[in-house]
Amino acid sequence: MGAEDLTSIGVDFVDPEVEASARAVLAAVEDELRTCVTSADPMITEAARHLVEAGGKRFRPLLVALGAQFGDPTARMVVPAAVVMELTHLATLYHDDVMDEAPVRRGVRSANSRWTNSVAILVGDYLFARAADLAADLGTDAVRLQARTFARLVHGQIAETVGPRDGVEPVAHYLDVLAEKTGSLIATSARFGGMFGGATPEQTEALSRYGEKMGIAFQLSDDLLDIASESEQSGKTPGTDLREGVPTLPVLYALASDDTDAAATRLREILAAGPVTDDDLHAEALVLLRESAAMKRARETVRSYAEEARERLAPLPANPTRAALESLCDFIADRTG
């Protein structure tokens, strides 16, 4: 992983030794990932390596690496723990692409479009199995934690698919889904770093609480970038969620708004009709959303979660690693304007 990649994630390293240590873990993770997804069947190997080789932020292994800094980042199980987290994450992406019918992932054809939905699902299952196999080497506590994290991921995916139940406010439901689907795995990544680096139980718990809030903030900021970015800064064409009818936070705030001005009324009218597939309406909705009170409120929500993440770091010693984790909070708060 190059310097530009860590910069794009938002980490500001104030200590070159901490940065070098994190890079060493991430480099080892890359090598181990390719080994772990290799199968006796060449087709399975090709399909399983598909997203590994497409790259990605490796945000979860990074949090394992940083969490381990509060103990011994060279401890034997730190790299395997990071690989377990990334394999689990990659497995969910194969399943997500089938559910979303996504044609592209990380700039390459998605596995489901290159092969079939069935192959993509089974490859995702294979990666989950490889993660579980590797977790067994980490001990009973790690196996239990990974299984419980996986259960939260599935719970969140089901909740997202079913939608809010009667009497449940859509924004609250959406934030709960993000906590389950995204926050849970990032929380466990940070916890694994503390656990296997040898941090104290109090420090490990603080890392986990930080990770959950950071995961929610990171996903929310991605949602805002999908609307706010003029380029492909968000990793996909701006307004993709809007076109696909994905109800992200700014859209939910806009739909719940009781503003009576012409712009807010017109925006609700467009959004209430479902997926905005018409090009002219799509362009109009993007303009209205970018200037809306709903977008401002969504930005404030992102900042709130980023600040909550920072507060969770209080039990940790004030050292360069904590400063690196805090820099992520600043990056998330600032990246959407």
Query: 204 and 153 in one domain?
Result: no
Query: 247 and 309 in one domain?
Result: yes
Question: CA-CA distance, 255 to 238, in Å (whole number)?
Answer: 20
How does residue 4 score in pLDDT terms, banded at 50, 70 and 90?
very low
> Residues 149, 155, 157, CA angle at the centre, nearest 5°?
105
Query: 212 and 148 in one domain?
Result: no
In 3D space, the residue among 199, 328, 173 whose CA is nearest the CA of residue 252 turns out to be: 173
> What Å distances lie between residue 101 and 120, 141, 238, 273, CA to CA?
11, 35, 18, 21
Identify the pLDDT of residue 115: 62
Question: Where a domain ends, among 171, 198, 225?
Answer: 198
78-100 and 140-162 helices cross at what angle (nearest 10)? 20
How does residue 3 score in pLDDT terms, banded at 50, 70 and 90?
very low
In a domain, 173, yes or no: no
How does residue 177 score in pLDDT terms, banded at 50, 70 and 90?
very high
| Mean pLDDT, rounded, for 34-47 | 78
Positive or negative torsion for Cα 298, 304, 306, 309: negative
Comparing 99 with 161, the larger pLDDT belongs to 161
Ranges of H-type helices in 54-169: 59-68, 78-100, 111-114, 117-136, 140-162
Find the domain containing 307 and state its range: 200-336
For the ranges 159-163, 182-186, 271-275, the one whose mean pLDDT is highest: 182-186
Say how many Å lie between the first and final Cα of the chain, rounded: 27
In a domain, 168, yes or no: no
Kindly tell me the burial class for residue 188, based on how many C-beta atoms sit within 10 Å of its own C-beta (0-12, 13-18, 19 or more).
buried
Segment holding 211, helix H or strand E:
helix 201-228
In a domain, 108, yes or no: yes
Query: 149 and 234 in one domain?
Result: no
Query: 142 and 15 in one domain?
Result: yes
Q: What are the pLDDT digits (tens) for 14-26?
A: 899 999 999 999 9
Identify the pLDDT of residue 231: 55
In a domain, 172, yes or no: no
Q: Are 246 and 236 in contact (CB under 8 A)?
A: no
In a domain, 265, yes or no: yes
Q: What are the pLDDT digits (tens) for 41-60?
A: 777 787 777 766 776 778 99
In a domain, 170, yes or no: no
Question: CA-CA distance, 283 to 4, in Å (whole number)?
Answer: 32
Segment holding 278, helix H or strand E:
none
The total number of structural domains that make up the chain: 2
Comparing 44 with 259, the larger pLDDT belongs to 259
How does residue 132 score in pLDDT terms, banded at 50, 70 and 90?
very high
Identify the pLDDT of residue 233: 47
Among 142-146, 161-165, 189-193, whose mean pLDDT is lowest? 161-165
Question: CA-CA distance, 184 to 205, in Å (whole number)?
Answer: 13
In a domain, 292, yes or no: yes
Question: CA-CA distance, 154 to 160, in Å (whole number)?
Answer: 10
Question: CA-CA distance, 47 to 119, in Å (whole number)?
Answer: 8
Task: Give the CATH number, domain containing residue 135.
Answer: 1.10.600.10
| Mean pLDDT, rounded, for 229-254 | 77
Instruction: Indicate the average pLDDT of the chain.
Output: 87
Q: Are 211 and 185 in contact (CB under 8 A)?
A: no
Confidence check: pLDDT of 73 > 80: yes
